[in-house]
A and B are shown apart, each in its own frame.
Chain A
Amino acid sequence: MPVSFPSSLDLARFLPEILLTIFGTLLMVLDPVIHRRSTNLFGHLTLLALAAAMGAAVYAGSLEGPAFGGMLIVDGFATFFRVLVIAAGMLTVLASYRFLQRENAEAGEYHALLLFSLAGQCLMAAANDLIIVFIGLEISSIASYVLAGYLRDDKRANEAALKYFLLGSFATAFFLYGVAILYGSTGTVRLDQIRVVLNGPNAPFPVFVTLAAALLLVGVGFKVSAAPFQVWAPDVYQGAPTPVAAFLSAAPKAAAFAVFLRIFTIALEPIGNAWEPLAWGSALLSMTIGNFAALLQSNIKRMLAYSSIAHAGYVLVALTARSDTGTSAAMFYLAAYALMNLGAFAVVCHLSGKGERYLSLDDFSGLGQKQPFTAAMLTIFLLSLIGVPLTGGFFGKFYIFQAALESHLVWLTVLGLLNSAVAAYYYLRVMVMMYMHEPGEAVADAEPLPHGLQLALVLPALGTLILGIFPNWVLEFTSHSAALMK
């Protein structure tokens, strides 16, 4: 493939990744220099870096077009996911301030890893080439593996990191296999070209392409924690430090779905009939396993992990719809999901206390009496996760199932919506604890809400409500960019 020297336009379109990498490296360099007690400084610097990257992503979004000979493509879709993951990063940083102080953890490395992971995710959002997808996926994942085990002295964190790493590498191998077969049979790794070849007169033998699709599905399915590749998620979310778990459930997942959508709705759309049943099954399985397993959890982080599996299932429903509405619905839902889930995890992070002692559902008892504001915020997130109207979660779900019905997926819709009625039960349990029980030990121990966390709660809560009351503001963008993607 001929690669010309990058033009300034190429670099401008690549600016968010460049900035994130530069700032990440800078933090690494500064780490030994700055006094290790001044954790807040790293947080401030990271927020600055993310604000710059956000600006760069918006700027790059104004210069739509391919970069580096078509390996990257900056379109509305890419910009949407870049902004989304960077925003998720910001909320994670806000939620991490107190956490890092409390656990006495080194802040420099932590934030640097976060920035590297985000760089990988931004790359994934804009990738138009399977190799770039792979590189982005690896950058994002390797940083995430380390983050999951960030608390070195914590056994559970170690276990989580190791599990995440082993299973993650295994899944990546599947992904690479898929890439190899697809390259072998179509002669290209560029997504748009694969589509052309598959549509063309010399389309390769369908069995190989279908096999490649299945392998890619396994690889990406793992990253988005879709069933039946979901087993790692509860252990990792439980073991990882809470802000990291929050981050993992939002940003890498959104980026992986971006890749998912691009590969399957662009490159592999010509063989859509072959992979649709797989996505259908995975969607239903994810929703069902996620929701029913979440019913049985007593640990809040595990519960949220299973719930995140179920929500991956909802997004897969949108993917199964194989339409522009579906893509747009998935984008909208991922934004809503990132907000409500980050918010819910931020509350968990606040309440869990030093050493993350308080993670059981019972520990939420009486939160409504002692800290009504925190409880009210969590209520908004939970209502949104249930899918009660006027929250982003509801509108996202509505939009997904509308897309599904448009594509005549009646059964998937009915089963999916009934699933979300089941899901109401476990979210309600948390509300029951907060409002209908007397305060327990955890709530008595809870400190007043620090400023960083206040922001990490108020911003997603506002976002959730805005997405629920004025979905237009985001919907116009998502449906526009979904339509232009091809």
Chain B
Amino acid sequence: MNPVLAVLALPLVAFLAALAIPRSQPQNSRWWALASSLAIFVVSLILVATFNHSLGQEQFFIDRQWIASPDIHFAISVNGVSLWLIVLSTFLTPLCVLISWRSIQNRVKEFYAFLLLLEFGLIGVFVAQDLFLFYVFWEISLVPMYFLIGVWGHERRIYAAVKFFLYTMAGSMLMLTAIIYLYNLTGTFSYAAILDRLASGKLVFAPGEQMLLFLAFFVAFAIKVPLFPLHTWLPDAHVEAPSAGSIMLAAVMLKMGAYGILHFCVPLFPRAARACAPWIVVLAIIGIIYGALVAMVQPNLKKLVAYSSVSHLGFVVLGIFSFTRMGLDGAVYQMLNHGISTGALFAFVGLLYERRHSLEIADYGGVATVAPWLSTVFLVTTLASIGLPMLNNFVGEFLVLQGTATVHFTWTVYASLGAILAACYMLWMYQRVFYGEVNPEVRHHIFDLHPREWAVAVPLLAMMLWMGVYPQSFLPPVGKVNDAILQQSQVDVPVRVALPVRVEAARAR
């Protein structure tokens, strides 16, 4: 069986099976979710093993007609970028199951069912090669996340859930318009076929047309990333979501936006992308610095991490729009890094919340004395998030900054400010929560990690170290894809150029 199809289909099967478990057996729901998500993770590792890392093109292509008119296909495949994003999703889902083991006590069955449905939607977004199918998965992933936030979240959960839904919906409506427009122009939803026509000069956008299409896609993705000033839904959603929701949201869902920019916006509308790049870079840099400054003054732990996400994702956008190989590599790597380290931060903040039932930094203090191991794993994660060498974020940020420096040194200068500020707000937060005088409430409530929590912490820390020390395990296929994207982004649409490899792959089928 095609491994991509297996990785995509299994979460759906697991979701349907989870629905069949009786409501009265919450423990069975938990075990099922854990077992199935681990199985999916294993299958995704098989995908990694069978994937040819030395090729930059789409692999394991499946293409079946779904709807005859309009011509919609069920077309899926993976490339070197989506591969890692899929693994990121499958890696984090079992951890989310574990982290929610005790904290989710009501409507357990539905919770895990939605988590599995979310995994299905996310994987679908990364494998879809048909624009219509992509949109379908994009929207499907919205529904479970809406429920995860709205049903199992904190006090202002409803506001946050509705805001999250509406922001994304408004953006995706523009994207849908653009997708239909492209279809009417080309008669196909196939991503590869459209690229093919672009490259061969059969499809030519009028300049204004290209710009509007680019913007329609870009706004939808920028909301999801989120790019300043479209980020305001994010802190609300993060703060109100349950831990598992925050983790999946930060680690994977935001990457849908970045992936979309990289996979669709840049190759499909190269000229518009380059024309807009300076403006987008400015917004990204504002996001980096603004996110960091706002994070610094947050009294709420989750909000702090949420704003740090705005800052980190600014680096990703910056890297993409530097249009250099290093910048793109760094952007993709940073997407993965942010997934691991911010996912871990949300997980550990969740552990603190489970114990102390507060997210206010002021309610903590001296945690290190009471729970040394918890403090240690939190410290490693904090350092990773800051970008300490030997840990994962350093590699990504470094590549982005270096890539940017080769084209525009001033951008690098401003962006590095964000890296410095990150050290300030994270370390300051760490100091206030973990050091200092032991708050009596803390002494009373907080205890150290127990085995289930270790099972969450160890894989996360191991990944941080691995990705920080030996990025070569991950980067080669990413670089291959980025080469193709860069080549495509050189296409000055009306001019005929050599076909990028991915398009040849599509032609071959």
B-side contacts of A402, CB under 8 Å: 70, 180, 183-184
Rounded to whole angstroms, the CA-CA distance of A231 and B460 in the bound complex is 59
Q: Chain A residues with Cβ under 8 A from B143's Cβ?
A: 383, 388
Shortest distance between the CB of B235 and any CB in chain A (Å): 20
Task: Produce 1/0 per residue, A401-421, CB < 8 A to B.
Answer: 110011000100110011011
Residues of B close to A405: CB separation below 8 A: 177, 180-181, 184
| Chain A residue with Cβ nearest B140 | A389
Per the bound structure, the CA–CA distance linking A435 and B23 in Å amounts to: 15
Q: Which residue of A lies closest to B183 (CB)?
A: A402
Q: Does A34 contact B (CB under 8 A)?
A: no
B43 contacts the other chain (CB 8 A): no
Chain A 150-175 interface mask (CB, 8 Å, partner B; 1/0): 00000000000000000000000000
Q: How close is A440's CB to chain B, nearest CB, in angstroms? A: 15
Q: Which of A447-473 contact B (CB under 8 A)?
A: 471-472
Q: How far is the CB of A5 from chain B (nearest CB, A)?
A: 43
Chain A residues within CB distance 8 Å of chain B: 369, 372, 383, 386, 388-390, 394, 398-399, 401-402, 405-406, 410, 413-414, 417-418, 420-421, 424-425, 428-429, 431-432, 435-436, 471-472, 475-476, 479
Cα distance A420–B173 in the bound complex, in angstroms? 8
- A46–B337 alpha-carbon span in the complex (Å): 64
How distant is the Cα of A388 from the Cα of B145 in the complex, in angstroms?
A: 14
Most buried by A among B139, B140, B174: B139
- Give Cα A431 to B146, complex, Å: 10
* Bound Cα distance A197, B147 (Å): 58
- Residues of A within 8 Å of B157, CB to CB, are 436
* Residues on the A chain within 8 Å of B169, using CB: 386, 421, 424
Q: Is the CB of A418 within 8 A of B173?
A: yes
Q: Is B222 in contact with chain A by the CB < 8 A criterion?
A: no
B67, A424: Cβ atoms closer than 8 Å: no
Q: Does B508 contact A (CB under 8 A)?
A: no
- Are the CB atoms of A398 and B67 closer together than 8 Å? no
Q: Are A398 and B181 in contact (CB under 8 A)?
A: no
- CB–CB A414/B158 < 8 A: no
* B44 vs chain A, min Cβ distance (A): 23
Residues of B within 8 A of A429 (CB): 162
Which residue of chain A lies nearest to B23 when distances are taken between CB atoms in the complex?
A: A372
What does the 1/0 interface line of B22-60 toward A look like (CB < 8 Å)?
Answer: 010000000000000000000000000000000000000
How many residues on chain B are close to A (CB under 8 Å)? 33
Between-chain CB contacts (< 8 Å), 12 pairs: A386-B169, A388-B139, A388-B143, A389-B136, A394-B139, A413-B180, A417-B176, A424-B165, A431-B150, A432-B161, A435-B150, A436-B150
Q: Which 9 A-B pairs have the closest CB atoms?
A: A389-B136, A417-B173, A421-B170, A421-B169, A389-B139, A402-B180, A421-B173, A436-B150, A424-B169
Known: A421-B170, A432-B158, A472-B67. A401 touches B150 (CB 8 A): no
Closest to B138 in A: A389
Set of chain A residues within 8 Å of B173, measured between Cβ atoms: 417-418, 420-421
| A390 and B166 contact, CB distance less than 8 A | no
Most buried by B among A401, A406, A436, A472: A436
Q: A435 to B162, Cβ gap below 8 A?
A: no
With a CB–CB cut-off of 8 A, which chain A residues contact B136? Answer: 389-390
Decide yes or no whether B68 CB sits under 8 A from chain A.
Answer: yes
Chain B residues with Cβ below 8 Å from A476 are 68-69
Interface 1/0 per residue, B313-337 and A, CB below 8 Å: 0000000000000000000000000
B135 at the interface (CB under 8 A from A): yes
Q: Is B151 part of the contact surface with A, judged by Cβ < 8 Å?
A: yes
**Do B142 and A388 touch (CB < 8 A)?**
yes
User: Known: A389-B135, A389-B140, A425-B166. Is A398-B184 also a contact (CB below 8 A)?
Assistant: no
Neighbouring B residues of A418 by C-beta, 8 Å: 170, 173-174
Query: Would B150 and A432 count as touching, CB distance under 8 A?
Result: yes
Give the distance to chain A from B430, nearest Cβ to Cβ, in Å: 34
